[in-house]
Structure 1
Amino acid sequence: MFENIGWVEILIIVVAGLFILGPERLPSAAAWVGRTIRQVRDYATGARDQLKQEMGPEYEQLRKPLEDLRELRNFNPKQAITKHLWDDQPAEKPNGYPTTGGAPAAIPDRAVDRPLQQGERPPYDPDAT
């Protein structure tokens, strides 16, 4: 529940509560917040247990798709696309460079770069312009 809150944030909340409520009311307010959080957690646990008892085996069939949806919160589209495209680990990426961790890809047969002769025109690719 509070997994992203660090000590700095808690310290800021305590200092703000000290200024807002004052030192005499801060302990009772902190106790009230603790009791309320505990009560909400108990309600959620009780509701889940009651649902599990009433539904029986169908509860697991309902829980599985919900777990899959929970995994979507951590969905990284770049990682998913990379995994989908490169799952079979081809020897060569589309840009011609070898993949990391595999055997180096064969260099495609291309004309060896050489200096142009006097009066020779450079190659022209109409699709590149």
Structure 2
Amino acid sequence: MFDIGWPEMMILVVAALVVLGPERLPGAIRWTAQSLRQVRDYASGATSQLRSELGPELDELRKPLDEFNELRKPLNDLRGMTPRSMVTKHLLNGDDSLFTGNFDTPGGTSSPDAATSYTPPAAAPPKPLAHNEKPPIDFDAT
């Protein structure tokens, strides 16, 4: 839920020590732990009460949520993909030597036919416009 590591935790403890002082810090920690435990007990009690009252109807309510989560699974697979990794994977067939500069590695395209396997077609230069000629309009781009 919260992404708090040890360095952040130590900063919070030091800040609490400065704000509360050493004499009130143990009581504040004790109060926070009791409050969190009580909230957790309330949440688990409400969940168990809801399950006991709804019974099999709860499964019917959860079915659309499960279907929605199944639809979201492909999106979760893309979560770790960055533009660089997508280009590397799909356009360069996993060869990241273009980004890393390591062209001599086995994953690099050091073979001559791999480097010349694709050449983009040469585009014809655009024709200059005549005097008072309006440029073409691309309605999809505007």
Class of the TM-score when normalised by the shorter of the 2 chains: 0.5 to 0.7
For CA contacts below 8 A with separation 6 or more, give which structure has more relative contact order.
Answer: 1
- Equivalent position of 2:124 in the other structure: 124
Alignment TM-score, normalising by the size of structure 1: 0.54
Hey, what does 2:34 align to over in structure 1?
35
CA shift at 1:125, angstroms? 7.2
Q: What TM-score do you get using the length of structure 2 for normalisation?
A: 0.50
Indicate the residue corresponding to 1:85 in structure 2: none
Segments of structure 1 that go 5 or more residues without pairing to the other structure are 81-92, 101-106, 108-112, 114-121
Listed as ranges, the matches of 1:1-129 within 5 Å are: 1-2=1-2, 4-67=3-66, 76=75, 79=78, 124=124
Task: Extract unaligned runs of 5+ from structure 2.
Answer: 80-89, 95-116, 127-142
After TM superposition, what 4+ stretches of structure 1 lie above 6 angstroms from structure 2? 70-75, 97-100
Whichever residue aligns with residue 42 of structure 1, its letter is: D
Amino acid at match of 1:47: A
Distance in 2, matches of 1:72 and 1:11, equals 40
Summarize deviations over 1:59-102 as a string: whole Å, max 9, x none: 1222343456678898848939xxxxxxxxxxxx8xxx6977xx
Give me the identity figure in percent: 48
